[in-house]
Amino acid sequence: MKRLSIDLTSLSNPLITKGSEKFVELINIIATIERTLDTLKWAQEHFPLLLVDQCHPSTSDDSEGNDIVLIDSQ
């Protein structure tokens, strides 16, 4: 399973630019998306006046980047 490659060419989505991806990497991507959505839902419930300024869940390993930046809407 670790080296299994998934063919993405049959997907008609312009946001998917790769022809294939490793199965394990797709699982990691989906898990990151789910965690990000859960975090944004939590923030919306607890801080409804904040707006999302930045959302880059893959930049946490970058010393200059942040996963999510919320700002005051007022």
Q: How many domains does the chain have?
A: 1
Q: What is the mean pLDDT of residues 9-16?
A: 91
Show the domain range for 67.
5-72
Tokens of 28: 């990691």
Give me the numbers of helices (H) and strands (E) for the chain, helices first please.
1, 4
pTM (2 decimals)? 0.74
Virtual torsion, Cα 51, 54, 59, 63, nearest 10 deg: -100
- 68: which residues sit within 8 A by CB, 6+ positions away? 36, 39, 40, 43, 52, 54, 55, 56, 57
Nearest alpha carbon to residue 40 among 67, 61, 15, 16 = 67
pLDDT at 66: 77
Average pLDDT of the residues of the chain:
88
Q: What is the mean pLDDT of residues 54-70?
A: 76
Q: What is the mean pLDDT of residues 6-33?
A: 92
